[in-house]
Amino acid sequence: MSTRSRVAAIYEQVRMRNAGEPEFHQAASEVFESLQVVLERHPHYADAGLIERLCEPERQIIFRVPWTDDSGVVHVNRGFRVQYNSALGPYKGGLRFHPTVNLGIVKFLGFEQIFKNALTGLPIGGGKGGSDFDPKGRSDAEVMRFCQSFMTELHRHVGEYTDVPAGDIGVGGREIGFLFGQYKRLTNSYESGVLTGKGTAWGGSQVRREATGYGVAYFVAEMLEVLGTSLPGRTVVVSGSGNVAIYAIEKVHQLGGTVTACSDSSGYVVDPAGIDVAVLKEIKEVRRARISDYADAVRGASFVAAGSIWDVTCEVAIPSATQNELDSDAAAVLVANGVQVVAEGASMPTTPSAVKVLRDAGVAFAPGKAANAGGVATSALEMQQNASRDSWSFDYTDERLAAIMRGIHRRTVTTAEEYGRPGDYVHGANIAGFIKVADAMAALGVI
């Protein structure tokens, strides 16, 4: 059988076995596209069912999460933890609380996480979890009761050497606090290393909150350097206004670029003078309010409820909200407006057809598994600090993050060149991540 048919047959088997999970198919198919060239050069990677094993999570946990709202009504949500691959270290990956969460979404995120974590060069495996709980509009007390119920089951399955969750959409410092409190109470042990994204007063790392967004900005700076230019003077659009988006905007501004638009699920704001990060943080982190408030607070800014944020002209686009938010029509508009770089802050925000439009137009495109790996990398630094009962300064941790992002960029670019696709960040990231995990899996035997 030719390599092409072999890869196609394995992908077909994965698709059939995981029916009804389109996001997982999309994430798997993107990696499979890069695998053919690897198997042509190194056929042994297809031996011993290695690819089939990589696609099948080591363990999938689904559980009931009952909780009571402020008026005494009982609600039932579904909790998930997919422990995907532990060849390189304990399972590591965030928890997402959003009404759209289902097993397929958690699997796509967990699958991506394996390669992302491998790319960081740090000793962490891949996993992901979450719930279809919607924290929006819920009181702090309701969020706390939900988190306590969620952890009452999850605590049996996690641990500093087993599985170390962190945040994702809908899970920030507040939720990690409630989850850690319940874990500590149930186990009667202050096991700091069981969760990352903790507050700096109780075991968290400096820069973890900022890390994903800062990391994307560092990655973009590297991409621009390859193109012979730099961030100062560049116009940037960042979608979303959550954890990733806020700190991507902050670091882009520190590095000399100007972010003129950001969004949430109700619409987007444009501020030609550059988004005022202090105002944005007050609206989103303190008041948990809608993005339209920004236009009320800042003179010269405007709010657009209908339409696409990608209509706003920019040289650099950083989609940082959610999966499949940037489609081929949006990509065509970006290209027509002269975009040079697109770097994914979110997990898989660019559809496959949009990636093709960007690639055909010669736009430098970085997938999330490379560009947004700064969050998980800094989580691994938090684990290091917890293990040694140490805590590092903000500047030192930020320097470590910047060095890790430069390393990921270098590894991605070098691997793409080595495998005959110079400038192709998607292939570079997939292949470099795959080889790291596959070598470890092969060494550990058929398990």
From the CB of 230, what's the least distance to ligand NDP, in Å? 25
CB nearer to ligand NDP: give 7 or 314: 314
Who contacts 428 (Cβ-Cβ below 8 Å, separation ≥6)? 370, 411, 412, 413, 414, 415, 416, 417, 419, 421
CB nearer to ligand NDP: give 172 or 193: 172
From the CB of 6, what's the least distance to ligand NDP, in Å? 31
From the CB of 275, what's the least distance to ligand NDP, in Å? 13
Single residue of 244, 249, 280, 358 touching ligand NDP by CB under 6 A:
244
Q: Are 425 and 367 in contact (CB under 8 A)?
A: yes
From the CB of 394, what's the least distance to ligand NDP, in Å? 17
CB nearer to ligand NDP: give 182 or 378: 378
Contacts to ligand NDP from residues 69-128, by CB under 6 A = 94
Q: Which of 116, 128, 284, 369 is catalytic?
A: 128
Contact pattern from residue 205 through residue 224 relative to ligand NDP, giving x for each residue in contact according to CB under 6 A and a dash for the rest: -------x------------
**Tokens standing for residue 147:** 């988190």
Contacts to ligand NDP from residues 304-363, by CB under 6 A = 320-322, 345-347
Which range in 140-148, 167-175, 329-337, 425-433 contacts ligand NDP by CB under 6 A? 167-175
Q: How far apart are CA 29 and CA 203, in angstroms?
A: 38
Q: How far apart are CA 297 and CA 293, in angstroms?
A: 6
Single residue of 175, 264, 315, 382 touching ligand NDP by CB under 6 A:
264
CB nearer to ligand NDP: give 50 or 82: 82
Q: How far apart are CA 370 and CA 242, in angstroms?
A: 20
Residue for token pair 């899996």: 441
CB nearer to ligand NDP: give 248 or 363: 248
- DSSP strand pairing (126-131 vs 91-97): parallel
- Report CA torsion sign: 104, 101, 61, 108: positive
From the CB of 80, what's the least distance to ligand NDP, in Å? 14
Which range in 162-170, 180-188, 351-359, 403-411 contacts ligand NDP by CB under 6 A? 162-170
Which range in 163-171, 182-190, 229-237, 308-316 contacts ligand NDP by CB under 6 A? 163-171
Contact pattern from residue 169 through residue 208 relative to ligand NDP, giving x for each residue in contact according to CB under 6 A and a dash for the rest: xx-x------------------------------------
Contact between 243 and ligand NDP per CB under 6 A: yes
Q: Are 333 and 308 in contact (CB under 8 A)?
A: yes
Contacts to ligand NDP from residues 14-73, by CB under 6 A = none
From the CB of 112, what's the least distance to ligand NDP, in Å? 9
From the CB of 390, what's the least distance to ligand NDP, in Å? 22
CB nearer to ligand NDP: give 35 or 196: 196
Give the burial string for 164-181 (b: 16+ CB within 10 Å, else e).
bbbbbbbbbbbbbbbbbe
CB nearer to ligand NDP: give 315 or 344: 344
> How many residues contact ligand NDP, by CB under 6 A?
24
Which range in 165-173, 220-228, 357-365, 406-414 contacts ligand NDP by CB under 6 A? 165-173
Radius of gyration over every alpha carbon of the chain, rounded to an integer in angstroms: 21
Residue least distant from ligand NDP (Cβ): 242
**128 catalytic residue (yes or no):** yes
From the CB of 389, what's the least distance to ligand NDP, in Å? 24
Residue for token pair 């759209």: 100
Contacts to ligand NDP from residues 265-294, by CB under 6 A = 265-266
CB nearer to ligand NDP: give 206 or 372: 372
From the CB of 214, what's the least distance to ligand NDP, in Å? 11
| Residues within the interface to ligand NDP (CB under 6 A) | 94, 167-170, 172, 212, 240-245, 264-266, 320-322, 345-347, 372, 375
Q: What residues are annotated to the active site? A: 128
